Amino acid sequence: MATETEPDRIRQREWVSIDDPDEERTWLFDVTFLASSWTCIYGRGCQGVLTAPTPELEQGCCSYGAHFTGKDDARNVERVADELGPELWQFHDHGRKKGVVVTLDDGDLGTRMTKGACIFLNRPGFPGGAGCALHKLAERKGISHVETKPEVCWQVPLRREDVTGDDGRVISTVKEWDRHHWGDGGAEFHWWCTEAPEAFVGHEPVYQSMRHELEAMAGAAVYGQLAAYLEQRTSPTPAPVPLPHPSVRRPTLAADG
């Protein structure tokens, strides 16, 4: 679903690269997104990722289940599911009988679907509360949901891509997960949160609100360098003016005209 501002979204981005101190890897971070005020608005105006707005379903981005990154990712979620009781998980009995991991048409592993969405998604009206049961378990235990959810779920809307050069050095890019990353199906989304100004209402920048996720992706040392760089941008000393995120940027002069 391209718009008139799509070229603007692609070109006008700020990036920073950081060499990993522990391995032959360079990290490339999307500063424009990490410095933005994006926040998850699940249950607070999120329209979901179906072909029409469905905020009343409170499915968020869980309508199609999760693709696991591999067997370790799937086994971890199975282990966490064993800790869930019916008070936190609406489809507890179904999950116990059928299992929570399935082999998808493309051969990858994914979460089982139940009644039109991920088996872990509690629906509105459930006494334990709507939303991901794995997320709720993390909240109950006082731990990060990085430890309980599929990797793709705790990363979104961050996305990591690794490319190995001819010299063996890895370039790891951490950027926002855009609709095109979902393949052909992403073009059919009525709404995607990183394109919606309504989601840019957080009280702290993404690099702070998603610290656990970034540390899990890049490591504490790299995150420390990233945070230090981004924090100096807002220090009292003169610094370049940050480029606003495209979703909240003012229209171009051409558009104004």
Task: Report whether the peptide linkage leading into residue 157 is cis, meaning its omega lies within 30 degrees of zero.
Answer: yes
Residue at which a domain ends, from 112, 137, 155? 155
8 Å CB contact between 247 and 197: yes
For residue 227, give every residue at least 6 positions away whose Cβ sits within 8 Å of its Cβ, in sequence order, or none.
207, 208, 211
Residue at which a domain ends, from 119, 135, 155? 155
**Number of domains present in the structure of the chain:** 2
- The reported pLDDT for the residue numbered 29 is 98
Residue 84 lies inside a defined structural domain of this protein: yes
Q: Is the dihedral of CA 2, 5, 189, 99 positive or negative?
A: positive
pTM score = 0.86
Residue 19 lies inside a defined structural domain of this protein: yes
pLDDT tens, residue by residue, 156-197: 999 999 999 999 999 999 999 999 888 888 889 999 999 999
Bridge partners of residue 126, in order along the sequence? none
Q: What is the spatial distance between Cα 245 and Cα 194, in angstroms, rounded to a whole number?
A: 9
pLDDT tens, residue by residue, 35-76: 999 999 999 999 999 999 999 999 999 999 999 999 999 999
Q: Are residues 105 and 160 in the same domain?
A: no
Give the chain's mean pLDDT. Answer: 91
Please give the residue range of the domain that contains residue 116. Answer: 62-155
8 Å CB contact between 47 and 60: no
Q: Are residues 70 and 134 in the same domain?
A: yes
Q: What is the spatial distance between Cα 139 and Cα 154, in angstroms, rounded to a whole number?
A: 13
Residue 6 lies inside a defined structural domain of this protein: no
- Helix (H) or strand (E) segment spanning residue 103: strand 101-103
Q: Are residues 70 and 33 in the same domain?
A: no
Residue 232 lies inside a defined structural domain of this protein: yes
Q: Are residues 41 and 162 in the same domain?
A: yes
Q: Are residues 244 and 210 in the same domain?
A: yes
Residue at which a domain ends, from 155, 181, 211? 155
SS3 labels along 79-94: HHHCCCCCCCCCCHHH
Q: Are residues 163 and 212 in the same domain?
A: yes
Residue 9 vs residue 170, higher pLDDT: 170
For residue 209, give every residue at least 6 positions away whose Cβ sits within 8 Å of its Cβ, in sequence order, or none.
39, 202
Residue 172 lies inside a defined structural domain of this protein: yes
Q: Coil, helix or strand for 170?
A: strand
By CB atoms closer than 10 A (0-12, 13-18, 19+), residue 100 is buried
Residue 255 lies inside a defined structural domain of this protein: no
Q: Are residues 215 and 198 in the same domain?
A: yes
Residue 256 lies inside a defined structural domain of this protein: no
